[in-house]
Amino acid sequence: MVDMYLIILVAILGMILFYSLIAYFLIRFISKKAFKLTLTKYEMMEIMTWLAVLFITFMMIKNGSINLLLPVVALIIPLINLRRSNRKHREMN
């Protein structure tokens, strides 16, 4: 029984990692080709976090459930801190 839960956990973490890598390289490719702009890793992490917030919000509206409100709030808090660190990083350069 425990082996089954371990396999499920590894599969979910693998999917999250796989789709995160695809999003990372896709955002990087689009920013270079379409906007002729090279993003820093902080800006790319911020974009990926915003996309996660939008996706979870969309799913919350689609399902009509308020249960997904906690993950949205849990993502917005680091997003605010990331915005502050991006600002500090840009000011240093």
What pLDDT digit, counting tens, does each position of 32-59 carry? Answer: 888 888 887 778 888 888 888 888 888 8
**pLDDT value at residue 10:** 92
pTM reported for the whole predicted model? 0.66
Half-sphere exposure at residue 66, Cβ-oriented, CA atoms within 13 angstroms: 0
Cα angle value 18/26/73 (rounded, 5°): 70
Average pLDDT, the chain: 84
User: Domain containing 54: what range?
Assistant: 2-92
Q: How far apart are CA 78 and CA 49, in angstroms?
A: 9
Contact by Cβ (8 Å): 61, 32: no
Number of separate domains in the chain: 1
Q: In whole angstroms, what is the distance from residue 49 CA to residue 44 CA?
A: 9
The predicted structure's pLDDT at residue 93: 67
Q: Which is it for the CA torsion 28, 34, 39, 43, positive or negative?
A: negative
Q: What are phi and psi of 38, to 5 degrees?
A: -100, 120
